[in-house]
Chains A and B, each alone.
Chain A
Amino acid sequence: MQVTAKNSADMRLGSLEELEKLRSELLAAEDPDQTKIIVCHGTGCVANDSPSVTKALKAALAAAGEDIKVMPGIKTTGCHGFCSRGPLVIIKPSNIFYQQVKPGDVEEIVQKTILTGETVDRLLYVHPQTGETLKTTEEIPFYSGQERVVLSNIGQIDPTDIEDAFKAGAYAGMAKALTNMEPGQVIEEVTKSGLRGRGGAGFPTGLKWSLAAKHQGGQKYVLCNADEGDPGAFMDRSVMEGDPHAVVEGMIIGGYAIGADTGYVYVRAEYPLAIKHLVKALDDARAHGLLGENILGSGFNFDIRINRGAGAFVCGEETALMRSVEGKVGEPVPRPPYPSDKGLFGKPSVLNNVETWANVSRILDKGADWFASLGTEKSKGTKVFALVGKVNNVGLVEVPMGISLRNIVMEIGGGVPGSDHFKAVQTGGPSGGCLPWEDADLPVDFDSLIAAGSMMGSGGMIVMDERDCMVDVAKYFLGFLEEESCGKCFPCRLGVPRLRETLNRFSKGQGTLEDIDDLYSLAEAIKAGSLCALGGTAPNAVLSTLRYFRGEYEAHILEHRCPAGVCKDLITYSIDPEVCTGCRACSRACPQGAITGEKKKPHTIEESLCIRCGMCMESCKFGAIQVI
Chain B
Amino acid sequence: MLSLTIDGKKVEAEAGWSLLDTARQHGIDIPTLCYHEAVEPFGACRLCVVELKQGNNSRLVASCVYPAEEGLEVFTSSEKVNSVRRWILEMLLSECPASREIREMAGQYGVNTTRFEVKDPEEQCILCGLCVRACAQVVGANAISTVGRGAQKEIGSPYLVPGEDCVACGTCVTVCPTGAMGARFERVRGVPSVIMARPGK
Interface of A toward B, CB cutoff 8 Å: 312, 314, 329, 333-334, 336, 482-491, 493-495, 497-498, 501, 518, 521-522, 524-526, 528-531
Contacts and interface: CB of A to CB of B under 8 A. Distances in A.
Contacts of A484: 149-150
B66 interface: yes
A593 to B, nearest CB: 35
Contacts of A501: 116-117
Given A494-B91, A498-B116, A529-B84, A486 B45 contact: no
B66 A494 contact: no
B145 A531 contact: no
B153 A493 contact: yes
B80 interface: yes
Contacts of A314: 149
Contacts of A491: 46, 84, 87-88
B134 interface: no
Nearest to A518: B115
A518 B86 CA distance: 12
B150 A490 contact: no
B146 interface: yes
A522 B87 contact: yes
Contacts of A528: 49, 59-60, 80, 84
B107 to A, nearest CB: 18
Contact of B150 (A482, A524, A529): A482
B92 interface: yes
B55 to A, nearest CB: 18
A41 B152 CA distance: 39
A498 B92 CA distance: 12
13 contacts: A334-B62, A484-B149, A485-B149, A486-B149, A487-B146, A494-B91, A495-B87, A498-B91, A501-B117, A521-B83, A528-B59, A529-B49, A531-B46
A493 B150 contact: yes
B94 to A, nearest CB: 8
B83 A486 contact: no
Interface in B62-84: 62, 65-67, 80, 83-84
A491 B43 CA distance: 12
A524 B80 CA distance: 9
Given A336-B67, A484-B150, A528-B59, A490 B44 contact: yes
B110 to A, nearest CB: 14
**6 shortest A-B CB distances, which residue pairs?**
A487-B153, A334-B43, A494-B91, A485-B150, A529-B84, A525-B87
B95 A494 contact: yes
Contacts of A486: 149-150
Of the listed residues B44, B60, B88, B153, the one surrounded by the most CB atoms of chain A closer than 10 A to its CB is: B44
Given A336-B67, A531-B62, A489 B44 contact: yes
Nearest to B46: A529
A487 B151 contact: yes
A485 B153 CA distance: 10
Nearest to A526: B87
In this complex, the interface size class of chain B, counting residues with CB under 8 Å from chain A, is 35 or more
A489 B64 CA distance: 13
B88 A529 contact: yes
B127 interface: yes
Contacts of B60: 528-529
A485 B151 contact: yes
Interface of B: 42-47, 49, 59-60, 62, 65-67, 80, 83-84, 87-88, 91-92, 95, 115-117, 126-127, 129, 145-146, 148-153
B153 to A, nearest CB: 4
A490 B46 contact: yes
A298 B83 CA distance: 57
B151 A489 contact: no
A488 B42 CA distance: 9
Contacts of A518: 115
B93 to A, nearest CB: 10
A497 to B, nearest CB: 6
Of the listed residues B59, B87, B129, B151, the one surrounded by the most CB atoms of chain A closer than 10 A to its CB is: B87
Contact of A334 (B65, B92, B149): B65
A490 B45 CA distance: 5
A494 B88 contact: yes
Contacts of A497: 151
B49 to A, nearest CB: 6
A525 B43 contact: no
Nearest to A515: B115
A312 B149 contact: yes
B146 A494 contact: no
A314 B46 CA distance: 18
Nearest to B95: A494
Contacts of B149: 312, 314, 484-487
A491 B62 CA distance: 12
A483 B150 contact: yes
A318 to B, nearest CB: 16
B115 A531 contact: no
Contacts of B116: 498, 501
Contacts of A488: 42, 44, 129
Nearest to A314: B149
Contacts of B87: 491, 495, 521-522, 525-526, 529
A625 B45 CA distance: 51
A525 B92 CA distance: 14
B151 A530 contact: no
B88 A530 contact: no
A531 B84 contact: no
B88 A487 contact: no
B43 A487 contact: no
Nearest to A531: B43
B83 A524 contact: yes
A309 B17 CA distance: 35
Contacts of B117: 501
B87 to A, nearest CB: 4
Given A493-B127, A494-B95, A529-B88, 15 more contacts: A334-B65, A334-B66, A482-B150, A488-B44, A490-B45, A490-B127, A493-B151, A494-B92, A495-B91, A518-B115, A522-B87, A525-B83, A528-B80, A529-B84, A531-B46
A531 B46 CA distance: 8
A487 B150 CA distance: 4
Given A312-B149, A487-B146, A494-B88, A530 B46 contact: yes
A518 B80 CA distance: 15
A489 B84 contact: no
